[in-house]
Amino acid sequence: MIIDDQYYDVIIIGTGAGGGTIAYKLAPTGKRILILERGDFMPLEEQNRTNVDIFKRERYHAPEQWYDGVGEPFSPQMNYAIGGNTKIYAAVLQRRREQDFEEVQHQSGVSPAWCLKYADFEPYYSQAEQLYKVHGELNGDPTEPLHSQDYPFGAIAQEPQITTIGQAIAQAGLHPSTLPLGLTRQVDDPTNDSEVSGIIPSLQHTNVTLKTKAKVTCLHTNPSGSLVKGVEAEIEGQSYLFMGDLIVLACGAVNSAALLLKSANDPHPQGLANGSEQVGRNLMKSLMTAVVQLSKKPNSGTFLRTIYVHDFYWGDEDFPYPMGNIQNTGGLLGDIIFAEAPPMFSLMAKFMPGFGLKQLATRSIGWWIQTEDLPDENNRVSIEGDKLSVHYTPNNLEAHDRLVYRWIEVLKGVEKDLDDFQGGIMHPRSEVPLQVMANQCGTCRFGDDPATSVLNRDCRTHELDNLYVVDGSFFPSNASVSPALTIIANALRVGDHLIQRLG
């Protein structure tokens, strides 16, 4: 093992929404900061989400195998690169609603309250929206929480077909609203991410060092187990040891938990920070179904997501429990998760014979149906030797199924008065499979009680004084909106704490 001769004030592991953002926050302090990233800078052509090749399975999958709860291997849809999964996300940056921070009764169980509330996150939501150049408009969503600042940029123009159907949905008595999007305002690659807004600005500071292709394999503690003293990483086949005062994990909910479990030692025989046996447990990743409308007229196939509907977020008159979020997918040539649903396109081909894959995508409008899944200690990450297993059984299914069927009924109703759509025929749909790791969260929940949580309010582990986790691991509950903006806002919040600690 090669021991690096530099000593760092802060070592950040991972460059996604949490790691890239906290690097940006800490870089101006002048403290010596090391950023370790398992991947490398992502070539521009690999970021191109408007190419028909996205429909080929495995394009955005990590080059490794995980295992499901019955021991079957799968290749996870993860992105190891500077910017992490923000390089392939849809740049939808929604706030959790105030009630999402409280205890909520669902049809299938209880979503627990957070130890911090919306008011604690609100200033950081505003900072995050400014940093990631969010384009949006506060225009009538009945669930929208209080904003102390408006979005820094106005909403983008919609695809004409989306405008037409949005107007029809409004006429049906619902409230289609503008999705907030993090955009760079650059034509060739418009979506913002943590490389653009976090890592690149950080590297302008001479006190910041980035090492790519650095896979962290173990965290080493002092003899008492109270501090992490070294970070072991494999770089080009060679093992290196990096020493630092503060260690910040931001590997994603699955990989951060896995690293803590892999780093078990004598003081922490069940894994670092795992005296509560909560590390790796309560994995959540949202219930998601794609629903497609078949169109008579072509569209570009490459437009961004622009509208959402929250009229059923907290339920309706027939179902007094939360159901979730509905949003258009964007152009189907530009949505990578449709690569996971080839059976959907086979079904569509039956209704549109003679059309190839590209033609099918440009004759379709997609919708995401997204419902909160509830924390379950049996949904977990585990390590056996070198094998990483993800045990996950979806829950809260009735709420999700009701929302899917409710939305299809809405679409059928509005299509009767629209000439552009194949009204009255089947709406193909597909559920997102296990290997899609979008919205992963919950494996190192924060809280005030060390017996039931891994992290304290500052996202520092209860058991190790210098170890923090700032990806989606800290969530005690999921929500029906994407976790991305909350992860970014939390990284800014924890960054303020670390700045005070660093002095």
Contact assessment for residue 18 and residue 471, using Cβ atoms and an 8 Å cutoff: yes
Contact assessment for residue 466 and residue 245, using Cβ atoms and an 8 Å cutoff: yes
- Closest CA relative to residue 211, chosen from 234, 245, 194: 234
Residue 361: predicted pLDDT: 74
Residue 485: predicted pLDDT: 98
Residue-range domains of the chain with CATH: 2-502 (3.50.50.60)
Predicted model pTM: 0.95
At 402-430, the pLDDT tens digits run 999 999 999 999 998 888 776 666 687 77
Tokens encoding 263: 């780093």
SS3 234: strand
Residue 337: predicted pLDDT: 62
Contact assessment for residue 374 and residue 442, using Cβ atoms and an 8 Å cutoff: no
Q: What percent of the chain has pLDDT over 90?
A: 74
Give CA angle at 431 (427, 434), nearest 5°. Answer: 165
Sheet containing strand 66-67, strands side by side = 73-74, 66-67, 387-391, 380-384
Q: What is the mean pLDDT of the chain?
A: 91
Rg, the chain, Cα only: 22
Residue 184: predicted pLDDT: 84
Cβ neighbourhood burial of 6 (10 Å; 0-12, 13-18, 19+)? exposed
SS3 334: helix
